Amino acid sequence: MGDGTNPWLRIGNADYERHMGHESVGQLSVLSRITGHQLALVRGRPDTSVAILGIANGNGLEHAWGGLGSIIGIDINEEFLETCRERYAHLVPGLRLHRIDLVTERQQAIDAIKGAGLIIANLLAEHIHVDNLVAIVRELERPIISITIQVNPDGALVSRSGYEAAFDEVVEHARECDEASMLRAMSNAGYELMGRTEYGLPNGKSFVRLDLSRSR
Ligand SMILES: C[S@@+](CC[C@H](N)C(=O)[O-])C[C@H]1O[C@@H](n2cnc3c(N)ncnc32)[C@H](O)[C@@H]1O
């Protein structure tokens, strides 16, 4: 999908926010809260640098705290990254944004995030697929990895907002990953679960945040 076929390249930030922020979807505010909890994971640790994979428009960076090291954000969508830059570059001096395709330019991503103490990947695995996420984190030293996945009791990956048609193509390319499969794949790469938090959403879906660290 490095040839322009990634459907996320055709999602504009306005459509993204209208959908994700719709009152019946409520995902923007919960993802922001989750990002805040994740950034707190490196408080008091020797390495406070963070990499956010699939950073989108930087939602949640308002929780960046003063003692954080650099924050490296990666996304495929330049419009999202530009929005992120406009909103947060002045608030987060250590913010470094890279337009990288995490599927076809994996090595570039690994080189960019190699030193980070915390890797965040929220609602990303279903889009780049778990094997690609695992192939990236397998190459890292000993970071904490914090992953958020979506649980859909209604069986639908995309919520209803009235704007969901913009995501038809994204849904076609997505591959859902349940918690057990994610934990199994991460365990094969040497990462074990150290924390699990569930966050409810207005329409009955939920997010599960899995914090993992490397045991070998
Ligand atoms: C649902 S959004 C992530 C939400 C965001 N992490 C948050 O917490 O608000 C998925 C993101 O993954 C990005 N993405 C999808 N495929 C990608 C790829 N191959 N490489 C890099 N980013 C990708 C999309 O552009 C989008 O910003």
Q: What is the pLDDT of residue 161?
A: 85
pLDDT digits (tens, 9 = 90+) for 10-19: 999 999 999 9
Residue 1 included in any domain: no
Q: How far is CA 89 from the centre of its chain?
A: 19
User: pTM score, two decimals?
Assistant: 0.96
pLDDT of residue 5: 87
* Å from CA of 13 to ligand 1 middle: 12
149 lines ligand 1 (CB under 6 A): no
Number of domains in the chain: 1
Quote the pLDDT of residue 216: 67
Tell me if 56 CB under 6 Å of ligand 1: yes
> At 141, which amino acid appears?
E
> Which domain covers residue 108, as residue numbers?
7-214
Give, for ligand 1, the residue of 103, 127, 128 to mutate: max count of ligand atoms closer than 8 Å to Cβ.
127
Classify strands 50-53 and 206-214 as parallel, antiparallel or unpaired: unpaired
The amino acid present at 9, given as its one-letter code, is L
pLDDT along the chain (216 residues), means of 10: 80 94 91 98 95 98 95 98 97 96 98 97 97 97 95 86 88 93 97 97 94 88
The confidence score (pLDDT) of residue 32 equals: 98
Q: Comparing C-alpha atoms, which of 166, 164, 149 is closest to residue 201?
A: 149
Residues 47, 49, 54, 56, Cα dihedral to 10°: 150
Q: Compute the distance between CA of residue 52 and CA of residue 22 in angstroms, rounded to an integer.
A: 24
User: Hey, whose CA ends up nearest to atom 9 of ligand 1?
Assistant: 59
Residue 2 in any domain: the answer is no
| Cα end-to-end span (Å), the chain | 32
Residue 48 lies in a domain: yes
Per-residue pLDDT at 167: 87
Asked if residue 79 is part of any domain, the answer here is: yes
Q: Is the CB of 25 under 6 A from ligand 1?
A: no
The answer to whether the CB of 171 falls within 8 A of the CB of 158 is: yes
pLDDT given at position 92: 94
pLDDT attached to residue 116: 96
